[in-house]
Amino acid sequence: MVKLNKIYTRTGDDGTTALVSGPRRLKHDARVEAYGTVDETNSCIGMARLYTGDRPELDAMLMRIQNDLFDLGADLATPDTGEVPAYEPLRVVQSQVDRIETEIDKLNADLDPLRSFILPGGSAAAAHLHLARTIARRAERIMVDLAHSPDERIGAPALKYINRLSDFLFVAARFANDGGKADILWVPGNNR
């Protein structure tokens, strides 16, 4: 269990932060950027949840995802160095990916088929979910870049999870827009 008695430590005043495994990294390091952007996604989902109380099934899914995103942040903040760790690090696992896929399918089952791209917006919940989707995509780009960097590793389930998350958030936004009936469709060339 995490226990935080003192919030500020002054150890980051030099522009570094400690990873869970101990080493310090610059605050603009790609790994720190990755888990920071995951945290930003989580915060945006929290904002969306202010508007999902009338849809308890969706709200419960989003709460599970918020918990998963803390797992993902812990995973990213504990780099796999290839050495045997002193403790078992928290990692995103395939069952989390499987669950989010099942939830995507469940929400998508009754949505109206897409006839066009969708403009982000509609209901307050949908607008926030679309914003969370774009932040999740940025987190994914950072994670993929990090995974292709020398001496860095990211587990396959973590990469799959962040990829599925943006899909989930897209479908969830449509679900929150009255099952897609209140989606705002893109009209190509409409303002020419």
Structural domain of residue 143, as residue ranges?
24-80+88-185
For 164-187, the pLDDT digits (tens) are: 999 999 999 999 999 898 999 999
C-alpha–C-alpha distance, residues 126 and 129, integer Å: 5
Residue 168 belongs to domain with CATH number: 1.20.1200.10
For 126-179, the pLDDT digits (tens) are: 999 999 999 999 999 999 999 999 988 899 999 999 999 999 999 999 999 998
- On whether the pTM is more than 0.75, the answer is yes
C-alpha–C-alpha distance, residues 70 and 80, integer Å: 17
The verdict on residue 11 lying in a domain is no
Helix (H) or strand (E) holding 184, with range, is: strand 184-185
The verdict on residue 3 lying in a domain is no
The verdict on residue 18 lying in a domain is no
For 14-46, the pLDDT digits (tens) are: 666 656 666 666 557 888 899 999 999 999 999
The verdict on residue 33 lying in a domain is yes
Amino acid, single-letter form, for residue 130: H
**CA 153 and chain centroid, separation:** 19
Q: Which of 167, 150, 147 is nearest to 158 (CA)?
A: 147
The verdict on residue 191 lying in a domain is no
C-alpha–C-alpha distance, residues 99 and 19, integer Å: 28
The verdict on residue 46 lying in a domain is yes
Looking at 93-187, list the stretches that DSSP marks H as alpha helix, in order from N- to C-terminal side: 94-108, 124-147, 156-176
Q: Quick count: other Cβ atoms within 10 Å of Cβ 50?
A: 10
Q: How many domains does the chain have?
A: 1
